[in-house]
């Protein structure tokens, strides 16, 4: 089946890391206004359930701090702060427009005392070593070419014994679902995006980045190779999305 042509964003397979980072920054600064709506609409609100599942798995035991890396408009931060009233949350993202939208939501929910959303790069987190009981990233790692560096940074700022959580969409491997999902990603999704988004080409990038993401097994191995132990993986909604949880070993600094 031939893929629809996207003249704006070349495949992630054909661009350099720098070009890809530029694309990611442009995409998220141009789709901010409709980001939350399209997330919920295109996933039939499954994204809400996936974040909720992730939040339920969090364990706060020492510093009561949570880092939301690549926080976007702050849904994981807000969900965690509501579920665990004792924690404080730092969210970082390198697209100011996303942060601004997130700050508005945080204010509206009356959570400004608990959640600080700030500009920053997941590849060089602006936090000291061993600061957070839990560090999480929802739908961010797919957009980061140097995944290992992002994982190393998350591990560095996590306390020994703490959790690193990665929630990410991936391409299904079951043959029937694979075909249906391919059609959805490459034909239906861009169609909906054309109707609702100011930058529909961004949704070709979404499909492309999902199809080029490592398998859950490969990704678990990458987490182990960056120093995490006891890596667990949970398939969500037939494996459209997976939650990976790694532990920072006790002896690590
Ligand atoms: C698909 S959105 C996910 C946002 C949010 N976590 C959520 O659950 O909706 C991906 C986000 O990752 C951010 N991002 C990508 N690479 C980043 C990096 N190196 N540092 C910080 N943020 C990054 C983008 O700006 C964007 O806001």
In the predicted model, what is the mean pLDDT of residues 13-19? 86
| Residue bearing the bigger pLDDT, 121 or 208 | 121
Q: Which residues contact residue 19 at a Cβ distance below 8 angstroms, ignoring those fewer than 6 apart?
A: none
Taking only the tens place, the pLDDT of each residue in 151-197 is: 999 999 999 999 999 999 998 877 788 888 888 888 888 888 777 77
193 alpha carbon – ligand 1 mean position (Å): 19
Q: Is the CB of 143 under 6 A from ligand 1?
A: yes
Nearest CA to ligand 1 atom 26: 72
Report if residue 205 sits inside a domain: yes
Looking at ligand 1, which atom is closest to the CA of residue 137? 6
Ligand 1 pocket check: which of 143, 153, 193, 209 to mutate, most ligand atoms within 8 Å of Cβ?
A: 143
Report if residue 4 sits inside a domain: no
Report if residue 7 sits inside a domain: no
Q: Is the CB of 98 under 6 A from ligand 1?
A: yes
| Residue bearing the bigger pLDDT, 87 or 20 | 87
31 alpha carbon – ligand 1 mean position (Å): 12
Report if residue 145 sits inside a domain: yes
Nearest CA to ligand 1 atom 8: 138
Mean pLDDT of the chain: 91
Element (H, E) at 168: strand 158-169
| Residue bearing the bigger pLDDT, 1 or 64 | 64
User: For residue 31, what is the DSSP state?
Assistant: S
Report if residue 225 sits inside a domain: yes
Residue 129 to residue 229: CA distance in whole angstroms: 18
Q: What is the CATH number of the domain that holds 97?
A: 3.40.50.150
Which residue range(s) make up the domain with 133?
Answer: 17-247
Give the tokens for residue 70.
């690549």
| Residue bearing the bigger pLDDT, 27 or 107 | 107
Report if residue 147 sits inside a domain: yes
Q: What pLDDT is stored for residue 2 in this prediction?
A: 45
Of 131, 118, 126, 134, give the one whose Cα is nearest residue 66. Answer: 134
User: For residue 196, what is the DSSP state?
Assistant: H
Looking at ligand 1, which atom is closest to the CA of residue 68? 6
Residue 135 to residue 190: CA distance in whole angstroms: 32
Nearest CA to ligand 1 atom 14: 70
Residue 199 has pLDDT above 70, yes or no: yes
Report if residue 252 sits inside a domain: no
Residue 207 has pLDDT above 90, yes or no: no
| Residue bearing the bigger pLDDT, 23 or 70 | 70
Split into its structural domains, the chain has a count of: 1
Residue 7 has pLDDT above 70, yes or no: no
Report if residue 185 sits inside a domain: yes
Q: What pLDDT is stored for residue 252 in this prediction?
A: 54
């Amino acid at each position: 089946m031939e893929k629809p042509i996207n003249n704006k964003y070349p495949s992630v397979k054909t661009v350099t890391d720098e070009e890809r980072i530029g694309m990611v920054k442009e995409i998220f600064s141009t789709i901010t206004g409709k980001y939350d709506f399209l997330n919920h609409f295109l996933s039939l609100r499954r994204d809400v359930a996936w974040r909720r599942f992730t939040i339920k798995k969090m364990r706060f035991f020492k510093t009561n701090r949570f880092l939301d890396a690549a926080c976007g408009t702050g849904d994981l931060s807000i969900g965690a702060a509501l579920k665990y009233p004792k924690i404080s949350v730092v969210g970082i993202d390198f697209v100011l427009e996303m942060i601004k939208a997130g700050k508005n939501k945080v204010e509206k929910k009356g959570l400004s005392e608990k959640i600080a959303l700030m500009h920053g790069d997941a590849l060089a987190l602006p936090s000291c070593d061993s600061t957070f009981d839990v560090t999480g990233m929802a739908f961010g790692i797919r957009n980061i070419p140097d995944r290992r560096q992002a994982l190393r940074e998350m591990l560095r700022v996590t306390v020994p014994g703490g959790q690193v959580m990665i929630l990410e969409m991936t391409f299904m491997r079951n043959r029937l679902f694979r075909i249906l999902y391919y059609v959805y990603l490459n034909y239906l999704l861009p169609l909906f995006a054309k109707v609702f988004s100011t930058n529909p080409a961004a949704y070709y990038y979404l499909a492309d980045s999902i199809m080029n993401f490592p398998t859950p097994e490969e990704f678990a191995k990458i987490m182990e190779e960056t120093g995490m132990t006891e890596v667990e993986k949970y398939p969500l909604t037939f494996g459209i999305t997976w939650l990976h949880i790694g532990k920072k070993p006790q002896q690590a600094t």
